[in-house]
Structure 1
Amino acid sequence: MTATDTRRGRWSLLARFAVLPGLARLLLLTQLAFNIGFYLVVPFLATHLADDLAMAGWAIGIVLGVRTFSQQGMFALGGALADRFGVRPTVLAGCSVRIAGFVVLAAAGDFATVLIGTVLIGFAAALFSPAVESALAVQGTELEERGVITRTELFGLFAVCGEVGAVTGPLLGAALLSVDFSLTCSVAAAVFAIILLAHARFLPRGPRAERRPLLAGWADIARNRTFLVFAAGYSAYLLSYNQLYLALPVELGRSGADWALGWMFALASGLVVFGQLPMAAWARTRLGAHRALPLGFGLLSLAFAAVAVLSPWALPEGLSLLPASVFVVLLTCGQMLAVPVAQDLVPRLAGGRNLGSYYGFLSSAGGLAVLVGSGVAGGLLDLAARPGPAAPVPWAVLAVLPAVGGLTLLALAKRYRNESRSH
Structure 2
Amino acid sequence: MADHAAGGKGLRSALSTFDGSLRFLLLSSFLIPLGSFMVLPFMSVFLHERLDMGLGTVGVVLAVASLVQFSGGIFGGALADRIGLRRTMLWALIIRTAGFVGLLLALRWPPLAVGALILTCCGAALYLPANKAYLVHGVDDERRPVFLSAGNAALNAGMAVGPVVAGPFVLSSPGWLFVAVTALFVLVTAGHARLPDLKAGQEPGPEPGAGARGLLAGVAVLPFAANALAFYLYFHFQHFLAVYAVERASSAFYSLVLLLCFTLVIVVQPLASGLIRRMPYATALTVGFTGLAAGLAVLAVGTRPALLAGGTLITLGDIVLFLKNDLEALRRSRRSDAVVFGQQRLAAGLGACASGVLGGQLYRLTGHAGNDGWFWLLAAVQCLLLPAALLAFRDRTPHCHPHDDDEGALKPHDTDGRVPGR
| Helix, strand or coil at the partner of 1:202 | coil
The structural deviation recorded for 1:176 is 4.2
Counterparts of 1:201 and 1:22, CA distance in 2: 11
Aligned residues: 401
Alignment of 1:238-257 (within 5 A): 238-252=231-245, 255=248
Superposition deviation, residue 288 in structure 1: 4.0
C-alpha change, 1:55 and 1:8, in structure 2 (3 Å) is: same
Q: Does 1:347 align with 2:354?
A: no
The one-letter amino acid of 1:403's match is L
- Letter in structure 2 aligned against 1:321: R
Alignment CA distance shift 1:392-1:43 (3 Å): closer
Shift of 1:200: 0.8
Offset at 1:39?
0.6
Question: Contact (CA 8 Å) 1:38, 1:188: kept in 2 or not?
Answer: yes
What do the CA deviations read for 1:29-48 (whole angstroms, capped 9, x no partner)? 22212201211111222222
Q: Deviations over 1:184-219 (max 9, x none)?
A: 112111121122111110232448995862566954
Q: Tell me: CA distance 1:53–1:382, structure 2 relative to 1, closer, same or farther (3 Å).
A: closer
Contact kept, 8 Å, 1:96 with 1:196, in 2: the verdict is: yes
Tell whether the 8 Å contact from 1:72 to 1:126 is kept in structure 2 after alignment.
yes
Q: Which has the higher helix share?
A: 1
Cα pair distance change 1:383/1:321, threshold 3 Å: farther
Matching residue of 1:133 = 132
Whole-Å separation in 2 of the counterparts to 1:231 and 1:107? 39
Change (3 A) 1:279 1:211: closer
Compute the TM-score of the two structures, normalised by the length of structure 1.
Answer: 0.83
Measured after TM superposition, the shift of residue 144 of structure 1 is 2.8
Bigger drift between 74-83 and 93-102 goes to: 74-83
Describe the shift of the 1:417–1:130 C-alpha distance in structure 2 as closer, same or farther (beyond 3 A). same
- Between stretches 191-200 and 353-362, larger displacement belongs to 353-362
Separation in 2, partners of 1:175, 1:29 = 25
Aligned residue runs from structure 1 range 38-77, under 5 A: 38-77=36-75
Q: Is the 8 A contact 1:155 1:343 kept in 2?
A: no
TM-score (norm. length: structure 2): 0.83
The question of 1:327 aligning with 2:323 is answered no
In 2: Cα distance, 1:404 partner to 1:360 partner: 27
Q: Displacement, 1:381?
A: 1.7
- Structure 1 residue 181: Cα displacement: 0.9
The range that moved more, 356-365 or 122-131, is: 356-365
C-alpha spacing 1:232/1:184, structure 2 compared with 1 (3 Å): same
Corresponding residue of 1:213: 207
Matched, 1:378 2:360: yes
- Written as runs of structure 1 = structure 2, the 5 A alignment for 1:384-399 is 384-385=366-367, 391=372, 393-399=374-380
What is the Cα deviation at residue 255 of structure 1?
Answer: 3.9
Match of 1:415 in 2: 405
Q: Which moved more, 1:252-261 or 1:160-169?
A: 252-261
- Residues 29 and 151, structure 2, Cα contact 8 Å, conserved in 1: yes
Match of 1:143 in 2: 139
CA distance in 1, matches of 2:3, 2:296: 37
What are the superposed Cα offsets for residues 364-392 of structure 1, whole Å, 9 maximum, x if unpaired?
A: 2221222223222122223554997x555
Per-residue deviation, residues 72-119 of structure 1 (Å, max 9, x unmatched): 232222221111221111110000001111111101134431112111
Q: Which runs of 5+ in 1 are unaligned?
A: 312-319
Mark the CA change 1:15 to 1:419 in structure 2 (over 3 Å): closer, same or farther.
Answer: closer
The answer to whether the 8 A contact 1:32-1:161 is kept is: yes
Query: What pairs with 1:15-34 in structure 2 (closer than 5 Å)?
Result: 17-34=15-32
Within-5 A mapping of 1:8-407: 8-11=6-9, 13=11, 17-108=15-106, 109-137=108-136, 139=137, 142-144=138-140, 150-177=143-170, 180-206=173-199, 213-214=207-208, 218-219=212-213, 222=216, 224=218, 227-252=220-245, 255=248, 259-285=252-278, 287-308=279-300, 310=301, 320-351=303-334, 353-382=335-364, 384-385=366-367, 391=372, 393-404=374-385, 406-407=387-388
CA distance in 2, matches of 1:356, 1:55: 37
Cα deviation 1:199-240 (Å, max 9, x = unaligned):
110232448995862566954564547x23321221122122
Matches of 2:287 and 2:205 in 1, distance apart? 42
Preserved CA contact (<8 Å) 2:4 2:271: no
Deviation at 1:174, TM superposition (A): 2.3
CA distance in 1, matches of 2:200, 2:174: 42
Is the 8 Å Cα contact of residues 78 and 205 (structure 2) preserved in structure 1? no
1:128-153 deviation digits (Å, cap 9, x = unpaired): 1111122234x3xx3336xxx62112
Kindly indicate whether the alpha-carbon contact (under 8 Å) linking 2:76 and 2:125 is maintained by their aligned counterparts in 1: yes
Whichever residue aligns with residue 159 of structure 2, its letter is A
One-letter identity of the residue aligned with 1:344 = L
**Are the aligned partners of 1:251 and 1:384 in contact in 2 as well (CA < 8 Å)?**
no
Given residue 415 of structure 1, which amino acid in structure 2 is its aligned partner? D
CA distance in 2, matches of 1:358, 1:239: 19
CA change 1:258–1:91 in 2 (3 A) is closer
Q: Structure 2: where are the runs of 5+ without partners?
A: 396-402, 414-422
Deviations 1:322-370 (A, max 9, x none): 332221011001111222222111221212x233233222212221222
Q: Which moved more, 1:40-49 or 1:190-199?
A: 40-49
